[in-house]
Structure 1
């Protein structure tokens, strides 16, 4: 075990013991009436389920859930205290804490899900891509589809003097990093950020120009021809299929198997002021995640019914069910089994791993959002500032004591916060969260070492 991992292990175990000791004296939540924000995506499901199934009320909490206009508004309102906490992009607490964009210390003690995104292209782009994709005997494309098939299309647009525009949901979103990862693995440069020069476009040296589009507007923006493709969460890839305006070419499960997606974020000040309330929120959401995955996703049809309500996701039942119930439709009529497209509890999905945080930080460095080289220790320090497995494990231990969960449902108490080196990336590069700089050095496209723009 590395020295870095040993320190992580020691600190998590110590903090869990401290959190459990503190909770023994806190009989009631410090704040009972809460308002949480979310964006209309299916991966907000743990919040909706915790409310609709009474898990928040079981913890003495009375929660209002409120849809937000976009990710920036959601973050700003969480910082100001208008929202007690929010469904967040995994990169948002990290970006805010290191001062990329809005500067504020945000923490997360709960990872909301794994996977759940896809990359969709317009019908015209798909028609050109298909010329470069091997086909199965039944005439359907061989998956996963790599960006190698998109590269000649991008080059053709460049030759015609047309910029190849693509959409993603936010500069520190998983979608941005997944789209960039997929493009770069296929030899297409997605561009750099240079915040130290005042350039936050992310389009320096870009062959594909990525810009922000709010998730619900992705299909209409694609249909209008403003963008030629996008990376987004559900149900907005499946919506393109239903409307006949585009084709999802790959899921994020195929880009990075079982990648972390959203988190539940609160301000550090809020977490310190309401520790018992925070722990109870995590308890309720763990129960919701367990319910979503139990008995081989048997509850998913009920979850889809909840999510299809207008005050949650508000898309048609069939559109949401297309991915939430274990399938995914690519080209119209090409529906395939993807049982792990949405994972809410399996594979320790809800545990806030330090290695997950560090992966996001490496991508911020790779694409220039972090302007200069940082030592490995910096990545670990930031991860520990933002990710709070101690709070998570305190909540888990209470659920075990109450008979609502089993010890085997969770990582061991001495979990060090690092997954083993991870394979399952589309470019076959292995990620080890204890060696972020060595990981960055493996990429042909991207900043590394002392490289600066």
Structure 2
């Protein structure tokens, strides 16, 4: 009796047979180096920005690299990180703050790196219908009766003040203490004069609620709408499709996108251990090649492939939300109040604007927010920020992957930074909701700009 091949083994056999028949592919593999580890398991959370992983799998980009990948949804960000650290997962879709926090020992200690930034933008802040009704009198309106955007937290401040005067805590949700969502929600609140609270890990306080006027706590992304509907939280910051889900269910209103808080902000990364990258360097470069190709496909021809991407993401093994809910943001629009759908072509960016390049300055922004809100307890010199960013963000691996794709003619050099001269720092960024300027080469000067938050010399 001939044993039945499982799916991965069969695909592995077919790809190996194909390689033996195609000398050009064999030559390319020799030049790059064959993958040292071929069968891989990657983790993700059910969010639309895991799309590069799903696309690399479904379009065969992983297999083109001789990689036979299993994608596994994870219960939450902690479980996902633990899986990468203990080796159950070879890599994962991660919050950009996770590799940085783990490497510095904030929470679980482990040296995690990223050779690939997965996307720009993609998040929103949603409030319940009751809170939205209280915000409306404080909003500027267009002639058609719809709110002027962006909506600042200035309109939420009187509502928070009212709750506090009545002795009611104003509770909001975010997905993880070192998530982009936590820092974006804090940034938006603080820009409107609402204190989101401090952490004090040196005192054993990881609540993030010291001196807080709005109390932020962790809720897993898919549970956000139901948690708000139950009244446990009054609003939240999360990635898609969980803001649009609130609109479809009629339980809340997304008031601002992260594109409006910080235009073209870095969002998720692909994370793996430094040990994995050192042990399997060819595998690491090849998985990065596959992800670059997936990101390019997602943004190609002015997002022409997005409807197909939405069909992929709607599958139960990926995001598992309705096609219409995912398409509401993935295809270049975003719906705020029901019926108030606006064009936001860059709500999800996967490739353009050098989205996939792991800039040191992106890493440093996250570190400045960790310091601003007390997760980093003590002052650090600018050089500390530079050194940690370079430990975690690996543009050298990215450049090797991209340059090999350019040499093959698979991608165009014009779509990437000038690798010969790139230093890893974006030009000073000006598109923030509070008009602050972020220069990654001056982290302490940046931190000192803010009225709310720790500055140089401050300690709780």
After TM superposition, the score normalised by the length of structure 1 is 0.95
Whole-angstrom CA distance in 2 between matches of 1:409 and 1:333 = 36
Whole-angstrom CA distance in 2 between matches of 1:112 and 1:415 = 19
Helix, strand or coil for the counterpart of 1:236?
coil
Helix, strand or coil for the counterpart of 1:348?
coil
1:142 is aligned to 2:142: no
1:335 is aligned to 2:337: no
Whole-angstrom CA distance in 2 between matches of 1:64 and 1:221 = 31
Helix, strand or coil for the counterpart of 2:114?
strand
Aligned to 1:419: 426
Aligned to 1:449: 456
Whole-angstrom CA distance in 1 between matches of 2:353 and 2:30 = 29
Whole-angstrom CA distance in 2 between matches of 1:363 and 1:305 = 36
Q: Deviations over 1:26-46 (max 9, x none)?
A: 531000000000000000000
Whole-angstrom CA distance in 1 between matches of 2:203 and 2:150 = 37
Q: Which runs of 4+ in 1 moved over 4 A?
A: 23-26
The answer to which of 411-420 and 40-49 deviates more is 411-420
Q: Deviations over 1:206-255 (max 9, x none)?
A: 00000000000000000000000000000000000000000000000000
Whole-angstrom CA distance in 1 between matches of 2:133 and 2:31 = 64
Tell me the CA shift for residue 25 of structure 1: 6.3
Helix, strand or coil for the counterpart of 2:433?
coil
Q: 1:242 aligned to 219, 242, 248, which one? A: 248
Aligned to 1:92: 98
Whole-angstrom CA distance in 2 between matches of 1:365 and 1:63 = 37
Q: 2:383 aligned to 377, 382, 388, which one? A: 377
Counterparts of residues 317-332 of structure 1 (less than 5 Å): 317-332=323-338
Q: 1:288 aligned to 284, 291, 294, which one? A: 294
Whole-angstrom CA distance in 1 between matches of 2:451 and 2:349 = 31
Structure 1 residues 291 and 26: CA distance shift in structure 2, 3 A: closer
Helix, strand or coil for the counterpart of 2:398?
helix
Q: 1:60 aligned to 50, 66, 70, which one? A: 66
Counterparts of residues 17-416 of structure 1 (less than 5 Å): 27-413=33-419, 414-416=421-423
Aligned length: 431
Whole-angstrom CA distance in 2 between matches of 1:187 and 1:315 = 35
Q: Deviations over 1:37-59 (max 9, x none)?
A: 00000000000000000000000
Whole-angstrom CA distance in 1 between matches of 2:202 and 2:31 = 47
Helix, strand or coil for the counterpart of 2:55?
helix
Tell me the CA shift for residue 171 of structure 1: 0.2
Tell me the CA shift for residue 159 of structure 1: 1.0
Helix, strand or coil for the counterpart of 1:78?
helix
Q: Which consecutive residues of structure 1, in runs of 5 or more, have no partner in the other structure?
A: 1-22
Whole-angstrom CA distance in 1 between matches of 2:457 and 2:83 = 36
Whole-angstrom CA distance in 2 between matches of 1:193 and 1:104 = 21
After TM superposition, the score normalised by the length of structure 2 is 0.93
C-alpha RMSD of the superposition? 0.8
Aligned to 2:17: none
Q: 2:438 aligned to 414, 425, 431, which one? A: 431
Tell me the CA shift for residue 406 of structure 1: 1.1
Helix, strand or coil for the counterpart of 1:347?
coil
Helix, strand or coil for the counterpart of 1:103?
coil
For the pair shown, the structure with the greater C-alpha radius of gyration is 2
Q: Deviations over 1:161-189 (max 9, x none)?
A: 11000000000000000000000000000
